[in-house]
Chain A
Amino acid sequence: MNAQAIQHNLPLFSFYALAAAITACCLAVAFSRNIVHCAIFLAGAFFCVAGVFILLDAEFLAAIQVIVYVGAVAILILFAVMLSEKVEGARDRRHQTSQRVPALAGAAALGAAAVSVVRSHPWNAVSEEAYWNDMAGGSVENLGMLLLQPYALPFEIASVLLLAAMVGAIVIARRLKEDDRS
């Protein structure tokens, strides 16, 4: 294969590499017995999903995926693991329920149904020419325009939701001291 063909197929190769890494990380999260390993593989899966967003020309989403998921949610999960159970105690022998077979059957059936629908449906995909004609400036500018003009109200409501979630999380997780009750 010559250099030009490799360059032409680079997005496809990147996609397959990212897809393999994501699948492996997700399987590790679903099957690993050590919950700290689960959390670290989860961070790896989030990071690879950011790569998929870059392949999809969604640079802003890739950035917030890294900041919010890898930087915040994965760390939050690691903290919850550390604060809740000892790591050795988390290595639980009965780490999965007895309903493994029905769960596997259900998940596999759902996945097979989704894949068959995806493969058989005639998507009216946009031509690359039309896409780059309309999106010459990149997607970040268009996304900002969308978020701050027609979707400004949901945007503000989302910030209020974050505030409410923050206050709620503090109230729920706070340790009540006896002398604080006065």
Chain B
Amino acid sequence: MPTLTHYLTLSAVMFSIGLFGALTRRNAISILMCIEIMLNAVNINLAAFSRYLSDPLTGRYLSAWFGDVAAPWQGGPLGQVFVVFTITVAAAEASVALAIVLAIYRSRKTIQIDDINLMKW
């Protein structure tokens, strides 16, 4: 079985590649793609923590943070809930960002970011 360390290492590598791409690409859509890679790396992190970490107090998987351990929804895959929200926000971000890219292209005929310095100074 792969351990938590495997997944976290993969996530760190993925995040670094995405960061490098986001820093060096000059096409706005490419930068968005690299940001999506970084978001996916974070999602892997959250899902891996959700799968492998136990409650530090009890050592059990379902934690006692909500009080009664007996109810089925208390504890459990909490990290996956965060991943669901991350994916939601990332989808919203992607749609708005691509709409902005299209609007910029329509008005300035380029999406190379070093040509779009209208608001820089």
Contact = CB atoms under 8 A, between A and B. Distances in A.
Contacts, number: 275
A81 to B, nearest CB: 6
B49 to A, nearest CB: 9
| Interface majority SS (helix, strand, loop, mixed), chain B | helix
B116 interface: no
Q: What 9 pairs between A and B have smallest CB-CB spacing?
A: A111-B16, A145-B73, A30-B21, A165-B92, A126-B54, A103-B23, A114-B12, A173-B99, A107-B20
Interface in B100-121: 100-103, 105-106, 111-112, 114
6 contacts: A15-B7, A97-B24, A97-B25, A97-B26, A125-B4, A135-B61
Nearest to A31: B21
Interface of B: 1-10, 12-21, 23-27, 29-30, 32-34, 36-37, 40, 43-44, 47-48, 50-54, 56, 59-62, 66, 72-73, 75-78, 80-81, 83-85, 87-96, 98-103, 105-106, 111-112, 114
Contacts of A158: 84-85, 88-89
A103 B24 contact: yes
